[in-house]
Structure 1
């Protein structure tokens, strides 16, 4: 288990200047641009921390931003980074000398950083879970005002998933900074789609600050069928897409998945020194019910339970690391869900659930079905196991049919092969790393 510290920010000083290339056209589409990626040192910087590449693009403009607590910076490669000894360094703008003369790390939200950089932020747009990230999954979020900055907050969840023209009035450029986890049903990429669509329709440029995919390059699972499109699956992709959110934005644009085939004026600010196969530990939870690396790694495999009568640990401290229900009484692990952060009314609240503890299992490198199949085999009444939401999560009716027919995991996986091969070919031109 990781300790929720961004592993690549343990270095205190980097003495070489980062030189970030200028803007140039990306070959995917005429409406997409990205800065040149220069791997100048070994410290990983997210797109938000790659400040030299985008601050100049925001100066003198009225800015709207979609973000939440996952939009956080621990370092910067801004031009004016200095220490008290006068030496210019490339990162750690957010390190300060402590009373012993050493350096102490602290973090900033992207909103605070932009305001302190004299960027004219006009509005915050909040996705599922809200700007402060405390709302339950699926909970209705209302518009409001951020108590710290006084900025208006526009909710992009519930009935208003796509910004309205009047909500974008006066905005010169939009910034998108959310931490995705690489799964089709994680709704931040759905919010990305609607932001891109609104920007295209209102002729507003969009800047996406890229972040690593904590599930790396894993591409796996059934490909969504168009008739099963929903907010938890908007595009014909597999469950695990193996892309960063910036790469995904380029694919949305390049494949013309927006309404009427529109494309937005898109700029992706890349991560520096990131490789798709490197392990990446998130510094903060990306949403209330993904508290650590283990939950993020198991999320795609266990999220199918959200379409069944089985709990994934909402209402416990082991969200997406355990599963169980009152109907699996022959399974050994026991827990009782109770209301907590991100789960005011958890499934089976106050009821003893039987299941399995996966909090210590080895990291998975594919979409695992074995736990879903085990639960189905052990449930008391198979006719009550699935609900209608399962098909939306799976993106196809076939997976439920395969499970009910008793197919093995490997037989089910074999049926995904053709779709996965086709997706990888579509995906390839949009990869940055």
Structure 2
């Protein structure tokens, strides 16, 4: 009993510390991303270059996850890779010293690569640390703290920009959360130096979890269809602005509201997953069927409702999908699995964004049907995933 209390205590401390790390990280990079376009333009970059730079960063950020996940499993250097990835956030405050768009572009791309390096090993550490308390709840707490940072980051940068009138002071301000973040990563590393041994020592429930096999492939197909059929917020906001349903200054507030919904729903969805199981994945494609008809609707109330559903779905995605992987992949392959998952997760958004964006430009009336049909396909695949899960548990 004392061992269980100790394990719970360590688990909660690690989850909260890494949650605060994620919060600070979001303040840094989400704050920077909120002004990256205008900043590059002030340095002389064209709109095409801005799109190319951001697109290249996202592509490399997701591609490197395949490598970092595999390296994490083969070397078990989960903390070193996590620390390296977070350390690369130094590129954001260093933007204060750039004098050309070329140098700024390099720093923006390096930040994305850093996120790609740290994501699989960080998720793996969390999968081990959350085992004693329930992975859904653990990932839910982490997502709650993470989204607080996602809301705070752009607000802090906006206030700094409004107060000083220049970008330099805003970027310099980000040295503060960066220093605190690195210190907390080192504290967590010392508190739980061997995450794999921690799970093995306190949890036997998932000892029979398999490697990357047929079930994981079906889960990956489900993930790809869910994200490809999920209407992204940029498309919702583009529609709202183009149709005059909202004005420019309302969009960041709408997004902040969606992120607050995300933060609120994450721990609830996580706890329900721990008690009800994989059925908690089903709301993701169900919302995906409804969302495009609201997000591409012709009323302000529909746009508001779409933002709420967007936040609910993101809260479930970021919590339940990651927890479900940990419950179904053996310890020895978990970093690799998270690397594959993160890549597929990003690829789905990329494919869906291009497809739905093209449909909206050329066949506006039929645009909502495309993501809805993809989400319907995800519901069908979910039946296979659910049956496979029931078979494994039985």
> When the two structures are superposed, what TM-score results if normalisation uses the length of structure 2?
0.25
Considering Cα pairs closer than 8 Å and 6+ residues apart, tell me whether 1 or 2 has the greater RCO: 2
Instruction: Name the one with the larger strand percent.
Output: 1
* Structure holding more helix per residue: 2
Q: TM-score normalised to the size of structure 1?
A: 0.24
